[in-house]
Structure 1
């Protein structure tokens, strides 16, 4: 027996309205105006096997609403407004085998249902947190590069002595913020392994856990502090190049105060969604399996104004300043008459080129996010899979590249890495040369000794022949001979030890 109640502008259903329809097996109430599902409204529908509430305005469901529907095997809740349902609300329907939602993350509230639609959000599936092998490999690769790369930067910057301590201090702060992105991806990768094959059973617990909330806070803090620090680095270079005489002396105290204020702002922004649940809801960070609050598929969800300000307004202002500052720096150097003769200006020009490459990579990572956010606010639908690619390939890649661009390709880092090798090889070469020199010196000493003995023999023989008696050579003559031979030895030794 069927009951079609589609397009009847139904706003509410009073408890007991279906109490006498014992033989009803299929009921559809699509395209109505229902906003709340309350306890008692489905009383009497114990024989119903399929229920469709498609295209209503449902925003809230009370726990226990579906208790009378013990034989329902198919439930359609597509095209409604709710984003969260009470836990266990579908557990009272033991025969439920098919359920239909607008968003994959709602399937986590019905883990016992074999067929839940949609089956994936482009990122996760019912089996795995990261449904693609490409994503699984990429998340480990990028997390390792971002984590260990920035640890190397921190070690190198702390160990090496640099003249520009302020600049090095800014790079250290950038490395710390980028390291947080690596830590965030590492946590996601570990939980993907933990939930492999049974992810849907843990989906809601994972997305509502403090670990997922911490991951979301890490991702937001890392991305924003990276943008803030890059802006400060650009401003620092701008004042050094455009106004070199006005800002001659720089010290760490103002830089530390400035970065401390930025870290306070960044931490405040990242924990604000955790403290103000009435505005952000319970799943601002946990809206997807990777705990990333970009809201591409639901642009006007809870906290959308905050997301607009952070990911669009603040970042766009920062990038606008960066572009303007580098254009000013470029033309300032071009106009300078000392560009070809001043060592300092030449160094600044080389540094300008390096930072231009760095800013270009940041633009490639962040401008797509700004553009996509603008497009979604304009009403254009973005595939849910976009979260996966932005979470793994766009947002964190900048954190993995910054150590290479800022530190590992610099002359000082290369000198620190390769200098010990050159020193060791140089010592080996010097030791070998010294041993060879000593060996040849000993050989020459023996030859000189033999020559001196021969000379003494000749002198002695000559004196004997002249005077008839043997005589001893004068000390002065022997000293001159010894001094001459030693001088020749030293000159030869120096020639052998000197490089070619």
Structure 2
């Protein structure tokens, strides 16, 4: 990167390094400073400078400031001599280096910083001088390394820290202290803290050998493994070290003494399953400042002392799940400034004190699944507001959601998971201010009370994952609503269980007309003059009972109409569908409907068979009499009552065999989803880092077998008998008219009665046959009926004959007269 004149002047003014550009006979060439100097240099930065000297000039580098993170950040000089093309590299890791003296040639200066700690950096001046001008120790006033190319401050001589690239500053320093590390085959001694720190300090590199044995706590196992996203670091340091990430596994216990006996270069501490109880001390990890990942899961931890992680500014992943933590207090995570992933699921946390997340400036994902959190104070997570994008609050005790719950995260939080909480309320404007929020998991364990415009989101919002399908009915346009498991086959987005105002009006009209009309028919039949002929008496008995069955259908429709008014739109907004289906009112209405429909079908079948016998076999004695007609009617009512009672019992004992819909009738117009499988939700794994399963159905089977047996079996047989009977009557009448003349055939009382009763039978036939045909098609998996079509069939098609029949009875009377 070229160095501009402006940057040179700026550096000179700040450091005072260029008060007099030339030093003695050395000519000033340039000034190099780290980015942003004297402020801390930015993270993840690379910069390079290229310098060249004339063949008759040498180069001197004077360092005025050098503050870099040892090992992880790098300032290196690579020099290629003009004279012999020898390449020499210098990596400056300590602030003891004061100067470099280099022969004429090509110089590359390379600076690199990683993604974690950023210090003040460096400032240096570069001078040139003629080759004949001597440079010695007295000129610079420092210790000149044996290679005569590097100088360090005298105070750094024999301090057991290697500063010269040729190790000469630690040679000839006398006997090594007992607590120092004596480098092999040399008299170089280094501080004990430099052994196994990831930096080669001994001439032969023996300070970094056998670390898995020499620097591993008793009872633990240690070793090396490749860098990876699970263990860290996030990226390799600028030096791209030859050593691998160093891990420590312990299974008995851990304390501060263990940390003292652990290699400083350790990047992973794995205490998973170790019974720590309350043995975690403030000094438990002191000195292990290169750690990148903690695994403290399943350790039976009950308490985290504030400051226990104070020295861990490089840690980016921490697992604390499956413990017994009950609260987090102020300063618990102090020092974890670069922590990115925090997993604390399956604890007993019920309290989050103010300041417990202080210092967590970089957390990207935070998992608090399966804890005891309920009422969270305003701004609980605001200390995470600079970085938190994924928040998992799954399976806690949160009952309500409001804007204060996520206060402080408005501009960063993208995904939040509330799955499995007993949420019953979402306050208005809860998500309006969440400018970055994209996805919400509202997989509540209970039914949430909804209201219009409950879901008002910020501009970035995209997806909601829910258990309750009602939520998908009121999502704003452009929002993807995903239901995690298949909804009930009869689920609908209707706000009331009656579909719309048209249905509501007509069910009142049909219900009242069925009640009044059939009540009048029954009254007139019971109080009218006795019929003069047996045929008329039989007809009167059958019509009276058919009117009674239709009257019950009117009761059913009025019950639905009244309960629709009583329940209103709470059916949808408060999620009362299942409550309504299992209520006593719905069961009574269902009983009335079932009893009415079956009695009607059986009575119509009896009428058709009686007319068939009378017309086809006019001289047989095996026909209905007044007495046998009354007995047959009595048996029909007994059979219908038993079937209706059976429907209620089956609904209670085996809902898969028969159950009630929103209109309290279980017609065989749906199929049951089957072959339910768990499917890994790749989306949730990518967002939160843990596995969750969706429930999917690969096929469907027939359901409500009781309903199929009655409506598609028994009723179908009845209507086939009716159809055959009237076809036979039609051909018999036509044949008779051709033989004896129209007048003779028309004078038969039986024939006249057959055509009169055809009006009543026909209405029942054409109300039931569409339902039977559709039922067969649905159970054959040929078509699928929506819940709205289901409701229209039950309200309009099935009961309409009950309202029309009283008028048909009147028409029959007029025809008779």
The TM-score by the shorter chain falls in which range? Answer: 0.5 to 0.7
Normalising by structure 1, report the TM-score.
0.61
- CA shift digits 1:392-424 (9 cap, x unpaired): 11001111122222x110235896xxxxxxxxx
Distance 1:108 1:193 in 2: 29
User: Within 5 A, what are the aligned runs for 1:177-326?
Assistant: 177-200=549-572, 201=574, 202-247=576-621, 250-277=624-651, 279-281=653-655, 284-288=658-662, 290-298=663-671, 304-326=704-726
Q: CA deviation at 1:197?
A: 3.6
- CA shift digits 1:66-110 (9 cap, x unpaired): 445668898899xxxxxxxxxxx8645655998889xxxxx9961
Are 1:132 and 2:459 counterparts? no
Distance 1:236 1:303 in 2: 35
* Shift in CA distance, 93/22, structure 1 to aligned 2, threshold 3 Å: farther
Q: What corresponds to 1:173 in structure 2?
A: 545
Query: Relative contact order: is structure 1 or structure 2 higher (C-alpha 8 Å, sep ≥ 6)?
Result: 1
Distance 2:569 2:542 in 1: 43
SS of 1:385's equivalent in the other structure is helix
The CA RMSD over aligned residues, in Å, is: 4.0
* Shift in CA distance, 160/91, structure 1 to aligned 2, threshold 3 Å: same
Contact 1:19–1:45 at 8 Å: present in 2 too? no
Contact 2:658–2:666 at 8 Å: present in 1 too? yes
Are 1:398 and 2:801 counterparts? yes
Normalising by structure 2, report the TM-score.
0.39
Distance 1:328 1:70 in 2: 68
- Specify which structure has the higher proportion of helix: 1
* Shift in CA distance, 224/240, structure 1 to aligned 2, threshold 3 Å: same
Distance 2:664 2:441 in 1: 24
Contact 1:213–1:291 at 8 Å: present in 2 too? yes
Structure 2: segments with no counterpart, 5+ residues: 1-297, 301-319, 324-340, 346-367, 374-380, 382-389, 403-415, 431-439, 455-469, 475-488, 674-700
Max radius of gyration: which structure? Answer: 2
Q: CA deviation at 1:295?
A: 4.7
Q: What corresponds to 2:110 in structure 1?
A: none
Distance 2:656 2:777 in 1: 26
Moved more, 250-259 or 311-320: 250-259
Q: CA deviation at 1:132?
A: 0.6
Contact 2:716–2:772 at 8 Å: present in 1 too? yes
Distance 1:342 1:76 in 2: 82
Q: What corresponds to 1:147 in structure 2?
A: 515
Q: CA deviation at 1:117?
A: 3.4
Q: CA deviation at 1:23?
A: 5.0
Q: CA deviation at 1:141?
A: 0.7
Contact 1:216–1:285 at 8 Å: present in 2 too? no
Distance 1:76 1:126 in 2: 26
* Shift in CA distance, 206/313, structure 1 to aligned 2, threshold 3 Å: same
Choose which of 328, 333, 337 in structure 1 pairs with 2:733: 333
Structure 1: segments with no counterpart, 5+ residues: 1-13, 26-40, 53-65, 78-88, 102-106, 416-500
Contact 2:549–2:595 at 8 Å: present in 1 too? yes
* Shift in CA distance, 331/100, structure 1 to aligned 2, threshold 3 Å: farther
Q: CA deviation at 1:277?
A: 4.9
Q: CA deviation at 1:133?
A: 0.6
Q: What corresponds to 2:290 in structure 1?
A: none
Q: CA deviation at 1:258?
A: 1.5
* Shift in CA distance, 255/354, structure 1 to aligned 2, threshold 3 Å: closer
* Shift in CA distance, 384/51, structure 1 to aligned 2, threshold 3 Å: farther
Q: CA deviation at 1:373?
A: 1.2
Q: CA deviation at 1:374?
A: 1.5
Q: How many residues were matched structurally?
A: 355
Distance 2:450 2:611 in 1: 58
